[in-house]
Amino acid sequence: MTYQRVLLKLSGEALMGNLGYGIDPKVVADIAQEIKDVINHGIQLAIVVGGGNIFRGVKAASAGMDRATADYVGMIATVMNAMTLQDALDKWYPTRVFTAIAHAESG
């Protein structure tokens, strides 16, 4: 059985590679290349990316931050990761970041 459409959940922590925090550009480039290979096989791909490499809302809330604020900051971290991955993929394919958070489109 071959799949025509795939949903990929990409942990934000995967983007930091061996760094303790943040985004490793080499790792992002490698992941983008693997995604390109999948798309080149004719598979339609949707990607959901996390933000745990930048911020963890649950951890901040348990340390006293307002839970709603902490969750919102976590969602912004997710958008940051999505935009980073979008930048790496846009040289090959048109991509879009979808989020419930209002923001101006880049590029």
Q: How many CB atoms lie within 10 A of CB 8?
A: 14
The reported pLDDT for the residue numbered 107 is: 57
pTM given for the model? 0.86
The reported pLDDT for the residue numbered 39 is: 95
Domain annotation covers residue 52: yes
The reported pLDDT for the residue numbered 67 is: 87
Domain annotation covers residue 95: no
**What does the pLDDT look like over 4-49, one tens digit per residue?**
999 999 999 999 999 988 999 999 999 999 999 999 999 999 999 9
Tokens standing for residue 1: 């059985």
Domain annotation covers residue 64: yes
C-alpha to C-alpha distances, 33 to 52, 55, 58, 66, 77, nearest whole angstrom: 22, 26, 32, 39, 22
The reported pLDDT for the residue numbered 57 is: 79
Domain annotation covers residue 79: yes
CATH (domain of 53):
3.40.1160.10
> Domain range holding 12?
5-89
**pLDDT, average across residues 67-91:** 93
Domain annotation covers residue 103: no
Task: Domain count for the chain, please give it.
Answer: 1
